[in-house]
Amino acid sequence: MNKNLFYTALVFLVFFPIIVTAQSMPVNNNVFAKHSFVRTVYNVISNYNELDSFYQKLYRLKSTQTGTVSIVHIGDSHIQPDFLPAVVRNGLQDFFGNAGRGLVFPYQLAQSNAPDDISSSSNVQWQYNRAAHPEIDLPYGISGFGIITNSPNVTINMSLKDDPKRDFSFNRLKFFLDENENNSWKLDVNNNDKEFYLLKNENKDSVIYQQVDIEQPATSFSLSSLASSNAKKFYGVCLENAEPGIIYHTIGVNGARYDHYNIASLFWKQLPALKADLYIISLGTNEAQAAKFNEAAFIEQLSLFIKKLKQISPGAAIIITTAPDSYKKKRYNTVLRSLNTAITNYCNKNSIPLWDLYRITNGYGSAYSWAKRGLMNKDRIHFTADGYRLQGSLLLNALAKGYNNYQHTIE
């Protein structure tokens, strides 16, 4: 290299240092290379301007490495096992930082399937209730579930599976327990077998959750009630850490529809505790399984759901997703085409960001392609774990594209 050019470049770097902009989020299209039936050209979020406030929070988080951004993903049986959300959670946390596992529930105590990283047990049998299939007179809360027992001494054990790629240990727990009940609870954290805190709900009005901070991070806990004849209720627990980053909560209930959530007063009372910056709503499959589809009635429930979200979280952004193709009574489901068209028209009319999973996955009749490749279960409604993870990769890429586009406009 010419010496004069070298010294000129050196002087330039000393007096005019390079301005380093925020790093762009990786967009991995290689995962879709062998899935030609997926229409990645449509894998974007429409009405994206309404997400600027959310992307601004992500940009500030990445730039300053301070604070947290909360995402709440609400849905049905496509969401409950957490295969799809886990891909999005892990991808976002790998890039922006890990602020904790988020909201979890002891699904095994409610006789339901759980995400594969959550295990729970108890010394007693609990009665349970959930959105879509109410079994008893018990409100379902923030997780879309609720469990209750009248046993005087009960213990709930919960643990997170070790993940070699990321640390989900927690040092803050937010318990959604008995509302306006005078029960006492003891928390045992499995770190050096030491008891840390005694929780007391002193019959305060409108108790939403009880927060406990612990000194050393843990991945499991036992929550025990002190002897009492009062009914014990449990609706979920949020697991957090003190690190900056993303906290991604999953709320999924098998069989759930918009109207099931709309009538759940306790759900809406507790939901603001998650302090969402973004809601992702993935519903519609169960509405499409009904004998008849009433578009006006469906849009009324969808509109009411969005209205409630805006009332409790006026500063949060919202993304609605369309429902993927599936069968109905072993035949192609024509209702999904009408339902998803109605969702699309509603979002466009009201400037609500839309992730059109139905179109991206190739629309009407595409369930056959997914099933043929082993990405869909035999019921032709639910997908395999790999199928959901593929959809999760699509959503992660769509969010990454939106973030990168926002970043480029402000730098």
CATH number at residue 361: 3.40.50.1110
Same domain, 158 and 88: no
Q: Considering the entire predicted model, what is its pTM?
A: 0.92
Same domain, 172 and 257: no
Burial of 272 (0-12, 13-18, 19+ CB in 10 A): middle
The continuous run of DSSP H or E covering 103 comes out as: strand 102-104
Residue 215 lies in a domain: yes
Residue 165 lies in a domain: yes
First to last CA, the chain: 32
Residue 13 lies in a domain: no
Same domain, 131 and 235: yes
Q: Mean pLDDT of residues grouped by 10 in the chain (411 residues)?
A: 44 35 81 87 96 97 97 98 98 97 98 96 96 84 95 94 91 85 78 54 65 90 84 95 97 97 96 97 96 94 98 98 94 94 98 98 94 95 97 97 95 82
Nearest to 175 by CA among 212, 205, 200, 144: 212
Helix, strand, coil fractions of the chain, as percent rounded to 5: 35, 25, 40
CA 176 to chain centre: 17
Q: Residue 6: what pLDDT?
A: 42
Q: Which of 219, 242, 265 is the C-terminal boundary of a domain?
A: 242
Same domain, 263 and 399: yes
Q: How far apart are CA 74 and CA 335, in angstroms?
A: 22
Same domain, 76 and 222: no
Residue 18 lies in a domain: no
Q: Residue 184: what pLDDT?
A: 79
Same domain, 214 and 286: no
Same domain, 258 and 403: yes
**Mean of the per-residue pLDDT values of the chain:** 89
Q: Residue 349: what pLDDT?
A: 98
- Cα distances from 278 to residues 53, 222, 250, 307, in angstroms, run 9, 31, 12, 15
Q: Which of 217, 242, 267 is the C-terminal boundary of a domain?
A: 242
Q: Residue 8: what pLDDT?
A: 41
Nearest to 353 by CA among 308, 401, 312: 401
Q: How many CA atoms lie within 13 A of 1 on its CB side?
A: 8
Q: What is the pLDDT of residues 276-335, one digit of tens each?
A: 999 999 999 999 998 889 999 999 999 999 999 999 999 999 999 999 999 998 889 999
Residue 208 lies in a domain: yes
Residue 194 lies in a domain: yes
Tokens of 133: 């299939």
Same domain, 41 and 119: no
User: Are the C-beta atoms of 147 and 107 separated by less than 8 Å?
Assistant: no
Q: Residue 186: what pLDDT?
A: 86
Q: Residue 30: what pLDDT?
A: 80
Q: Residue 197: what pLDDT?
A: 52
Same domain, 220 and 145: yes
Q: Which of 211, 242, 273 is the C-terminal boundary of a domain?
A: 242
- Alpha helix (H) residue ranges in 70-170: 83-96
Q: How far apart are CA 110 and CA 30, in angstroms?
A: 39
Q: Residue 397: what pLDDT?
A: 97
Q: What is the pLDDT of residues 256-270, one digit of tens each?
A: 999 999 999 999 999
Same domain, 120 and 257: no
| Structural domains of the chain, count | 2
Q: What is the pLDDT of residues 362-380, one digit of tens each?
A: 999 999 999 999 999 999 9
Beta strands in 145-297 (DSSP E): 145-149, 155-160, 170-176, 184-189, 194-200, 210-218, 220-225, 232-234, 236-240, 245-252, 278-282
Q: Residue 17: what pLDDT?
A: 35
Residue 4 lies in a domain: no
Q: How far apart are CA 101 and CA 240, in angstroms?
A: 6
* Domain span at 173: 104-242
Instruction: Give the CATH number, domain containing residue 178.
Output: 2.60.120.260
Same domain, 388 and 297: yes
Residue 276 lies in a domain: yes
Same domain, 238 and 357: no
Q: How far apart are CA 72 and CA 318, in angstroms?
A: 10
68-75/245-252 β-pairing: parallel
> What is the SS3 assignment for 100?
coil
Give the torsion sign (CA, 358, 361, 364, 369): negative
Q: Residue 297: what pLDDT?
A: 97
User: Are the C-beta atoms of 226 and 178 separated by less than 8 Å?
Assistant: no
